[in-house]
Amino acid sequence: MKVKKMQIGSVTTPFGRRPATLALVKRQMETSKIKPGKTADKWKVFRDASEARELLGLQDRSLAVLDALLSFHPDTELRQDAQLIVFPSNTQLTLRAHGIAGATLRRHLALLVEAGLIVRKDSANGKRYARKDKAGAIDSAFGFDLSPLLMRTDELAMMAQQVVADRFALRRAKENLTICRRDVRKLISAAIEEGASGNWENIEAMYVGLVGRIPRAPTLSDVNSILDEMELLLQEAVNILEVQQKDENNSTNGDQSERHIQNSNTESINELEPSSENEQGAKAVDDDRPKREPVRIFPLGMVMRACPEIAIYGPGGTIGSWREMMGAAVVVRSMLGVSPSAYQEACEVMGPESAATAIACILERAGHINSPGGYLRDLTRKAARGEFSLGPALMALLRVDGDSNRRTG
């Protein structure tokens, strides 16, 4: 019975050959633990590695070299019980890698080794070749072992799927940002052209600042961050126009009511009053009933950028979910001296997420607020009347954060 020996080789770099690192030695040892009978289509594995090249730290030339190495493996499948060492010369590799230069070839071979996709198995003199037995079968070979590709098939497939999902999410986020930018631009232009009341020059300046922050090659995080702020700016612009429209409607209704009263001389005071105390009480309840819309819940990422100080009160000094945010808000509520009843009322009127956001905003402005509890009760009363939105508060804090970053940058 033959015992398969594992040779610890060395790594070729642009600066020559150096001893294998402990990480590379570990990878060589792990290749002997491939599940018996495991197989994989070598070109499927290659496509997955190509998709995941950025996560693996590879370049396009690295993939060309890997493609060339795989072409020297005679079978389409990589099998655990088969010979997985290829031994082409640098000249042969250069030809199949589309004429890549020698120094470039060595550099990308080293990158493939560092990425854990191949393992170098060197002979005593550093040459690549194979020894055959009397029957003509390969007995031992020295060159590049493709076993890591077989061992990591599942991992590479998951990495490729993640890259594809991230690419799709980035494309969708870019589309949403483009649509939101267009809507904000239209609103600002229409408001300025029609002379609508409001500080539209300031809103336009914020819009220009957000657009200017978009990188040439943005990541998903970059796009989502700017999209959150752009949506907030859009909501603020819409709110200004809605308030203006509401004021105009109230003014029109007031004029109509005044004219109606002046022209209704035939109606007596008794005819304008309810016929019973019960009817009068019912009408009073109807008139006093709060007419409000629920307080909008803003994205947690945006809240954390506007109110970073609350993060230290989360588990482990970070906040990654609304559940953790609400838990931190309870701690901060107690620290600020806000009574449980005041916070409970805020949760009932605003919703738990918005109440926690309000606490985070109060924490950011704690040095300027004399009574956090009274301030929260005032916000709750305004929310109950439909007169409160967290948007302007978050936007103000984001602007303060942006100004401080520019000053320290």
Model pLDDT, residue 264: 44
Biggest CA-to-CA distance, the chain: 124
Low-confidence ranges of the chain (pLDDT < 50): 1-19, 252, 259-291, 406-409
How many Å apart are CA 401 and CA 395, to the nearest integer?
10
How many Å apart are CA 237 and CA 252, to the nearest integer?
23
Query: Quick count: other Cβ atoms within 10 Å of Cβ 68?
Result: 20
Q: Are strands 129-132 and 16-19 parallel, antiparallel or unpaired?
A: unpaired
pLDDT digits (tens, 9 = 90+) for 203-242: 888 889 889 999 988 999 999 989 988 888 888 888 877 7
pTM over 0.75: no
Model pLDDT, residue 270: 35
For every residue of 160-200, DSSP letters joined together read HHHHHHHHHHHHHHHHHHHHHHHHHHHHHHHHHHTT-SS-H
Model pLDDT, residue 23: 59
- Identity of residue 22: L
Buried b (16+ CB within 10 A) or exposed e, 271-287: eeeeeeeeeeeeeeeee
Nearest Cα to Cα of residue 324 among 333, 311, 335, 336: 311
Model pLDDT, residue 359: 93
* CB 329 within 8 Å of CB 338: no
CA atoms within 13 A on the CB side of 285: 6
Model pLDDT, residue 55: 92
Nearest Cα to Cα of residue 400 among 362, 360, 357, 365: 365
- Which H/E stretch holds residue 322? helix 322-336
pLDDT digits (tens, 9 = 90+) for 368-393: 888 899 999 999 998 888 877 787 78
Model pLDDT, residue 282: 42
Written in H, E and C, the secondary structure of 238-252 is HHHHHHHHHHHHHHH
* CB 156 within 8 Å of CB 44: no
* CB 45 within 8 Å of CB 77: no
